[in-house]
Amino acid sequence: MVDLSINCGGIKSPNPFWLASAPPSNSAYQVCKAFEDGWGGAVWKTIGAPVMNVCNRYGGMDYAGTKIVGLNNVELISDRDFDLNLKEIAETKKRFPNHAVIVSLMMESQKEIWEDAVKRTIDTGCDGIELNYGCPHGMSERGMGSAVGQVPEYCEMITEWVTNVSTIPVLVKLTPNVTDILPPARAAKRANAHGISLINTINSIIGVDLDSLAIRPDVAGKGSHGGYAGPAVKPIALHMTSQVAADPQVNLPISGMGGVSNWRDAVEFMLLGASSVQVCTAVMHYGFRIVEDMKEGMATWMQEKGFKTCDEFIGKSVPRIAQFGDFDLLKKTVAKIDEDTCINCNLCYIACEDGAHQCIDRVEIKESTKLQPRVREEDCVGCDLCSLVCPVEGCISMVEVPRIKEGSITWPELVAKLPQPMTWEDLRAYQKQYGIEIH
């Protein structure tokens, strides 16, 4: 048996799956139901200043018949009374003492207001506080949410107000709507935060209605940017998670989120440094029940990989994060097409021909009108596009070509080796020694 329990910045939970601060964690009814279904923790939907919501507030991005590959919203923080939320949080924590209940806060940027809110929140018995510096719409126009997260100095100042009075762990939730995620993360660290949550939603316009020309979601003829989430944002979230995880100045536990829909996504976030993961869009799409597969899938994977605890694999892929300048320029692969499983759709051919390097030919097949794609290996640049478009699993593989000459070199090493300024002729001559030819 594997142990799924985690500790994220001092917040313990029986498994790494938390509801993100969002509509699914809006009430005691929902959070208790989620815990009964197996969720390990929940970040309560952000509570704070009075707000009023609009209709419609969500917009879905569908792709190729798949509903909601992305979801955006212009919903605000909780529109339920602050005190009512605190009461329900206390009741929930009492019912589920072993689950993680984290309260997301967003207050007006005044020290006294924050201190008061923090103290009253702690009184509920909750396990931690998450500071919402991420909300990219509505609240930011009122100087809260991402308006804080985008300015490291504000981020540091407010976090300090909170950590100075808090007796429980404080997570700082960052907005991805910045050019560099590290300055706000480092600011949180300087202010003694216990962990970083990321990413909040991304600024987005989900679409335009081609009949009415209205922006979606349509609020009485007007539209606005909203926060984008869901499966489509995962690569952006993974990148930012890895950046924070790899930064020695931040060096804080991470609660990762952004497009986590299943256990595979969760494992990826954890391999890149997250010690808990938060989920919203997938729950909004399918309900709390998805956690069963998340727990089971992760446990099975851990067993197969020989990990007994989550700590054994959290951050395991972080050391592999490198820069382009660290890459070995002499590694060469070529595509190989398995002609037995190939179904001759020739999607690889047209992708290579029009979209890449023109190194797949189509050859006639005996006694057939079909054409067989065949890689001209001497021209293949090893880009991998053909295998990505291939609809047959395992049909196209990228095979490493034995090096004709021992050696490896990175770009900085190459720059040091060749006369400067580098000429194309010098570079080509160098490549040729290693059998690398670009047509």
Kindly name the residue from 135, 310, 359, 386 that is annotated as catalytic. Answer: 135
Q: Give exposure, 189-228, as e/b (b: 16+ Cβ within 10 Å).
A: bebebbbbbbbbbbbbebbeeeeeebbbbeeeeebebbbb
Q: Which is nearer to another protein, 90 or 214 (CB)?
A: 214
**CB nearer another protein, residue 244 or residue 351:** 351
Using CB under 8 A as the binding rule, whether residue 356 contacts another protein is answered as: no
Asked if 329 interacts with another protein (CB under 8 A), we say no
Answer yes or no: are the C-beta atoms of 58 and 217 closer than 8 Å: yes
Considering only the stretches 97-105, 161-169, 328-336, 366-374, report the one whose residues sit in contact with another protein under the rule CB under 8 A. 366-374
Q: Which span sits near another protein by CB under 8 A: 294-302, 341-349, 380-388, 430-438?
A: 341-349
Q: Which of 362, 374, 376, 403 binds another protein (CB under 8 A)?
A: 362
Q: Does 357 bind another protein (CB under 8 A)?
A: no
- The footprint of another protein on this chain (CB under 8 A) covers a number of residues equal to 16
Residues 50-69 that bind another protein (CB under 8 A): 64-66
Q: Which two tokens stand for residue 197?
A: 């949550």
Residue 136: C-alpha distances to residues 105, 139, 288 (Å): 15, 7, 26
CB of 366 to another protein, least distance (A): 16
Please report how close the Cβ of residue 256 comes to another protein at its closest, in angstroms. Answer: 31
DSSP 3-state of 300: helix
Q: How far is CA 218 from CA 60, 66, 323, in A?
A: 12, 22, 42
Residue 333 or 346: which CB sits closer to another protein? 346
Phi, psi of 146 (to 5 degrees): -65, -15
In the residue annotation, 135 being an active-site residue is answered as: yes
Residue 344 binds another protein, judged by CB under 8 A: yes
Q: Among residues 44, 5, 9, which one has the least CA distance to residue 169? A: 9
Q: Give the integer Cα–Cα distance in Å for 150 and 93.
A: 32
Query: Considering only residues 369, 402, 407, 439, which one is a binding residue for another protein as defined by CB under 8 A?
Result: 369
* Token couple for 134: 């991420």
350 binds another protein (CB under 8 A): yes
Distance CA(386)–CA(31), nearest Å, equals 45
Q: Which listed residue (2, 49, 54, 345) binds another protein by CB under 8 A?
A: 345
Question: In this chain, which of 347, 356, 383, 418 binds another protein, going by CB under 8 A?
Answer: 347
Cβ pair 207, 59 in contact under 8 A: yes
Note the residues at the interface with another protein (CB under 8 A).
64-66, 343-347, 349-350, 362, 369-371, 391-392
List, by residue number, the catalytic residues. 135
